[in-house]
Amino acid sequence: MPLVRGLRSRRAAVRAVALATVVAGTAALLGGCAEGSAPRGAGHAAAVTGPERLWPGHKPAPPSSPPPGGEESPQPLTALPRVPSGDIRKLSARSVLLAQIDADKRRDIEVFEKDEERKIRACAGKPGARSCPVRASEYHDLNGDGKDELIVGVDSADHLLITYAYTIKNGVVNSILDATSYPQSVEVADHKLVFHELGEAPGYESRTVYAWDARHQVMTIEDVGYGRRTPASATPSGG
């Protein structure tokens, strides 16, 4: 931005002038020592002042919140049958995904285009097929209670991956994650979901980590990082 570049230019000029002044002063001092046997005084030094707070009447900013991500609160899918055992494998992943789509539509949330939704409804019973946008279901313990959660991935337009995660609370299926990404790979580590995406610079990647938030009972973003691509994600795999 012009303003930022202007500020940087002025700061660079100030530093250059300051450096030149220091070099010139040092040269003059050394020159003075060579010409006479007694050192010359540099004059009166400026008085050192302590820090002074600017705008003391203004309140400090509140602590920054973590970046948004995932669900803000668990979303119960009450249209699904209750599962008293807490074993989410008792329900088909297809029924859970379709209940999610229907619940979103009731809330006027259109996640998928009509053609995409038709494909999902037609093939959700056989996820993982080459022509099906629904990926094979995954089951992993995400909240540390010893029971698996259901993880569903749907490939949408332009390689966008929509990832849902579900748990059972008091017999009711709850959506605990609704995330979008363009991942090179996705992994589960220490009950956390990690999405690796290509970085802007060659050989680099961005990494988003979702972890269980016990207070809100959902998966939220715990960390977002940027660095060199790890060996596991160096080869594009599409997730």
> Is residue 177 over pLDDT 80?
yes
CA within 13 Å, CB half, 107? 9
Higher pLDDT, 174 or 44: 174
The pLDDT of residue 154 is: 95
The pLDDT of residue 65 is: 44
> Is residue 53 over pLDDT 90?
no
The pLDDT of residue 200 is: 85
**Averaged pLDDT, 43-51:** 54
CB 153 within 8 A of CB 204: no
> Is residue 59 over pLDDT 90?
no
> Is residue 239 over pLDDT 90?
no
Query: In this structure, what token pair is assigned to residue 140?
Result: 């992993």
Domain boundaries, the chain: 1-30, 75-89+138-233
Q: How confident is the model at residue 127 (pLDDT cuts 50, 70, 90)?
A: confident
Residues sharing a CB contact under 8 Å with residue 32, sequence separation 6 or more, in sequence order: 39, 40
The pLDDT of residue 233 is: 54
Higher pLDDT, 227 or 19: 227
pLDDT digit string (tens) for 182-233? 999 999 999 999 999 998 888 899 999 999 999 999 999 999 999 988 765 5
> Is residue 178 over pLDDT 50?
yes
CA within 13 Å, CB half, 97? 30
> Is residue 176 over pLDDT 70?
yes
Most confident stretch, 8-12, 99-103, 122-126, 129-133:
99-103
Query: In this structure, what token pair is assigned to residue 151?
Result: 């993880």
Percent of the chain with pLDDT over 70: 66
> Is residue 124 over pLDDT 70?
yes
Say how far apart CA 109 and CA 102 lie, in whole Å: 9
